[in-house]
Structure 1
Amino acid sequence: MAELGTSLGIVVGYLVITLAVGLVAYRLTDRSAEDYYLASRSVGTVVLLFTTFATLLSAFTFFGGPNLAFSAGPEWILVMGLMDGVLFALLWYAIGYKQWLVGKAHGYVTLGEMLGDRFGSTGLRGLVAGVSLLWLFPYVMLQQIGAGQALVGLTDGVVPYWAGAAMITVFMVAYVALSGLRGVAWTDTLQGVFMLGVVWLAVAWVASAAGGVSALTAGMTQANPEFASLGGGLYSPQWMIATAVTIAFGVAAFPQVNQRFFMADRAATLKRSFALWPVLVLLLFVPAFLLGSWAVGLGIAVPDGSNVLPVLLNEYTPAWFAALVVAGALAAMMSSSDSMLLSGSSYFTRDLYRPFVAPDASDAREGWIARVGVAVFAASTFAASLLVGGGGGLDVLVTLGDTAFGGYAQLTIPLLLALYWARTTKWGMIAGIVAAEAVYIPHALFAADVALLSTTYLTWDYALWCMLVSLVATVGVSLVTTASAAENAEKFGVGAD
């Protein structure tokens, strides 16, 4: 019981410290939308790099990734660490730098606002916001499920699943309501450094307790010889390439990531950040996924509804250290969730509420609508997480993450065309997004149950085929339609510094 109290005290104490940082940020944040959502576009290299890093470090990274490595092998490091790290860095340059230039010139806060203004279309603006909020729902759920499962594993079931999910929900709603992007960015930086430190300490501690890295690797390959070779099982070349591509392209359109393309203080900040990105990704993914892989050789038994990492740490490290790592994981989930909810509130208020409901609403009214929307959205995802996650098994986190990544990936090719191809039209953009999502959503929901649908076609994942649909539809419809007078390609023709 004493160990349980210590573990919970560490977890709750860490979250309270994070909330305190948010209170400080609240006192320094003015009430303008640009400051609340983008920290007045004043973020430097270290903070931009770590806030993007921490925003992406979610339950998918800390629990879904090690779970997949535990069940399928360590090649997951290659998919996420090398392929996805490099691919997203390239997209960060191709999309992020151009968005920064355009956003700085015209004062854009959201992706929908930028595209809606470029194409003179409130409908396109609302479509982008609606699709973004649709796929935000399962990814916020992912954080709540991960938190619930983490505390189940840490406390051996003494703390129920719903309590962990409820705790992170309350904290993230309070944090978003208070701090805005400035507080989120500050805590993301602290959390990113903290998470890197504790996960490498976890590797060192487990390796020391279990006989060293060589012994752990030998035990892993003896328990499952397939883990010693590249490929095999789940890891076909088609699966690895498709997964890396859809995740990287999906991340580029994630609201909480895409909005960070607007917030750098200068061009050099963006360029340094995307150059350092692959290194930072490897520093986290390698130890986290190695722990999941090594657990196979250690004979770790993971109960239904739990995750391998907390169970492994409970077995080989002191209770206080396992709690510290779980606190880091919960911090990762909260840093993702608060950014998601903050970006989601900006998409809802600026791209849906103002254009379609109350164009003349005051900034104060918009602020209250945003906060109420955050609470309602978080409560809805919490209710859904109670239905899905309590007994979801090891694969529910990866399944939810993959679904959201693939959904966002359908926005990225139309976005690239809009940024770089002046011939793109409003109807081409709408056709590309609608067609891709119309094909993707039935596959995501029903591919396992409907005979006419499949998860792969010609051995390639359906999400990649949907991205091809977005390309063909955007280009094809743009070529056969004429830009209206309200469309202005020159708005995206800003020259580089």
Structure 2
Amino acid sequence: MTVAIQLGIIVGYLLLALAIGLVAYRLTDRTAEDFYLASRTVGTIVLLFTTFATLLSAFTFFAGPNVAYEQGPEWVLVMGLMDGIIFAILWYVIGYKQWLLGRQYEYVTLGEMLGDRFASRRLRGLVAGVSLLWLFPYVMLQQVGAGTALQALTEGTVPYAVGAGLITAFMILYVVVAGFRGIAWTDTLQGAFMLVTTWIALVWVLAVVGGPSAASSALEAEAAHHLALGSDFYTVQWMLSTAITIGFGVAMFPQVNQRFFAAGSKKVLKRSFALWPLLCVLLFVPSFLLGAWARGLDVAIPEGENVLPVILAEYTPVWFAALVIAGAMAAMMSSSDSMLLSGSSYFTRDLYRPFVDTDLSARREDLLARIGVVGFATASFLASLWNPATLFELGDAAFSGFAQLALPVMVALYWRKTTRAGITAGILASQVFYLSSLFTSIVPSTYAGWTAGLVGMGLGLVVTVAVSLLTTPAPDERRAIYFDGLEAD
């Protein structure tokens, strides 16, 4: 009976999201621009919450509390404070310039924007290829999170593969039907829902255990070092490296980066980035504190399980725990659906169109985009069954991989002397360096405590500038389009 209630709530919530998607489908034009960007008409609340919900992934709800449980609550400083501020700044520095360019030249993807400026389909394909490479493990992360969450909540009644398959099926159906407009609407609902339920969960658990003082006393008795700032894990170098790579990586995530193009006006962008740090703190503080306090509570966390579902199952009623997990799964779906949509646009517009069919019609592109969603989601689901790494490892690798793109892109946006050879070399150098640090022993993963992800970003910056200074622009480069005639209304 308990499992039936849990599954009923979860499936009901997902069906509600699907219903919103069906309404959006009736209002969506059969054009690629509307499917990908809702015709660039998104307002402040929807832009803020669709970006917010897009990032409310398994990395937030499961990996974050797991890190706080094992290592202490300083993770709040990394994700909730430093990363929130860094991304808010980048939202303006990168996002506003991209919005101006997108409005002027109707760009839909980052690859289009760079490929047009440097007159290079190879650069366009490189950016798309790199983005799809790092997008794949992050989509897989959502499926791993959904599978493990349902398995833990139902105490094994719903196997891991079934949970991951359920979320994948809903993602495919939802994205193919809804497009960006439906995703943005449900993201707004899901973002607000998760803010409320996460705070209720924190208050509920604290009420059961006797309040914050009792929870902190229990934590001190079990793991006193969790109450002291800093540790062998939370070094200054690691915290700064992680906050910077996550912040810059978020700005290059396709599903986030494309939202820079979707804003309806300059005011929409400014209001959204100003409110961003506040939303980060409001969400990450309760979820990560729950993870940290759980260390002192008399609850056994099975090896390999996520902390949050176990704590909720222990201290809150069945229906509420299921509701929070349903919301978390919906948040994972809101991350994955946006990623699938963006990944599809990168494939169709930056790989298929320039290299396979340059005369691709808007209607055919719309159909190809939906087919691409199915293929990408299915492949990531099959990979998730292998489950090769922890949620934190998958998420951290993806954030740092995307972060390697950020500085070459910023240089191109603001430095006229950037050349095609320079930005191409910068992207390739940093990507090869970071991939080597992950998969070989030739490149170390840390440098005096600083992560390879951060060092790779620095390498990409230096190579981009140095090669640009040493090379001349190609004759067909459009050096002026990033600077001349770009004004907001």
Q: What TM-score, normalized by structure 1, do the two folds share?
A: 0.97
Letter in 2 for 1:105: Q
TM-superposed deviation, 1:169? 0.5
* 2:450 maps to 1:456: no
Letter in 2 for 1:488: R
Q: Distance in 1 between matches of 2:419 and 2:347?
A: 24
- Partner deviation per Cα, 1:57-98 (whole Å, 9 max, x = no partner): 100000000000000000000000110000000010100011
Letter in 1 for 2:436: P
TM-superposed deviation, 1:311? 0.2
TM-superposed deviation, 1:183? 0.3
Q: Distance in 2 between matches of 1:50 and 1:57?
A: 10
Does the 8 Å CA contact 1:72/1:233 hold for their aligned counterparts?
no
Q: Distance in 2 between matches of 1:301 and 1:141?
A: 27
Q: Which runs of 5+ in 1 are unaligned?
A: none
Q: Which runs of 5+ in 2 are unaligned?
A: none
TM-superposed deviation, 1:455? 1.6
Name the residue aligned to 2:374. Answer: 375
Q: Distance in 1 between matches of 2:300 and 2:105?
A: 55
Q: Distance in 1 between matches of 2:48 and 2:15?
A: 24
SS of structure 1 residue aligned to 2:107? coil
SS of structure 2 residue aligned to 1:489? coil
* 2:466 maps to 1:476: yes
1:56-455 counterparts in 2 under 5 A? 56-388=55-387, 396-446=390-440, 450=441, 452-455=442-445
SS of structure 1 residue aligned to 2:95? helix
SS of structure 2 residue aligned to 1:179? helix
TM-superposed deviation, 1:484? 1.5
SS of structure 2 residue aligned to 1:166? helix
TM-superposed deviation, 1:435? 0.6
Q: 1:306 to 1:94 in 2, by over 3 A?
A: same
- Partner deviation per Cα, 1:147-201 (whole Å, 9 max, x = no partner): 0010011101111000110001010011110111000000000000000010001
- Partner deviation per Cα, 1:428-464 (whole Å, 9 max, x = no partner): 1110000110111121223xxx3x3322112211111
- Partner deviation per Cα, 1:276-312 (whole Å, 9 max, x = no partner): 0000000000000000001001032222332000000
- Partner deviation per Cα, 1:33-64 (whole Å, 9 max, x = no partner): 11111111101110000000000110000000
- Partner deviation per Cα, 1:347-383 (whole Å, 9 max, x = no partner): 0000000000011122222222222221111111111
Q: Distance in 2 between matches of 1:314 and 1:196?
A: 19
Letter in 1 for 2:116: D
Letter in 2 for 1:318: P
TM-superposed deviation, 1:485? 2.1
Q: Distance in 2 between matches of 1:445 and 1:317?
A: 42
Q: Distance in 2 between matches of 1:250 and 1:361?
A: 31
Does the 8 Å CA contact 1:169/1:382 hold for their aligned counterparts?
yes
* 2:44 maps to 1:54: no
Does the 8 Å CA contact 2:32/2:365 hold for their aligned counterparts?
no
Does the 8 Å CA contact 1:414/1:470 hold for their aligned counterparts?
yes
Q: Distance in 1 between matches of 2:354 and 2:47?
A: 30
Letter in 2 for 1:39: A
Does the 8 Å CA contact 2:251/2:406 hold for their aligned counterparts?
yes
Q: Distance in 2 between matches of 1:265 and 1:315?
A: 45
- Partner deviation per Cα, 1:127-146 (whole Å, 9 max, x = no partner): 00000000000000000000
Q: Distance in 2 between matches of 1:173 and 1:305?
A: 28
The total of aligned residue pairs comes to: 487
Name the residue aligned to 1:489. Answer: 479
Q: Distance in 2 between matches of 1:23 and 1:248?
A: 33
Letter in 2 for 1:72: Q
Q: Distance in 2 between matches of 1:309 and 1:246?
A: 25
TM-superposed deviation, 1:247? 0.2
SS of structure 2 residue aligned to 1:224? helix
State, as a whole percentage, how many aligned pairs show the same letter.
61
Q: What TM-score, normalized by structure 2, do the two folds share?
A: 0.98
Q: Distance in 1 between matches of 2:34 and 2:255?
A: 15
Q: Which moved more, 1:375-384 or 1:64-73?
A: 375-384
Letter in 2 for 1:484: A
SS of structure 2 residue aligned to 1:291? helix
Does the 8 Å CA contact 2:252/2:402 hold for their aligned counterparts?
yes
Does the 8 Å CA contact 1:152/1:306 hold for their aligned counterparts?
no
TM-superposed deviation, 1:496? 3.8
Where in structure 1 do 4 or more consecutive aligned residues deviate above 3 Å? Answer: none
Letter in 2 for 1:186: W
Letter in 2 for 1:37: Y
Superposition CA RMSD, Å = 1.0
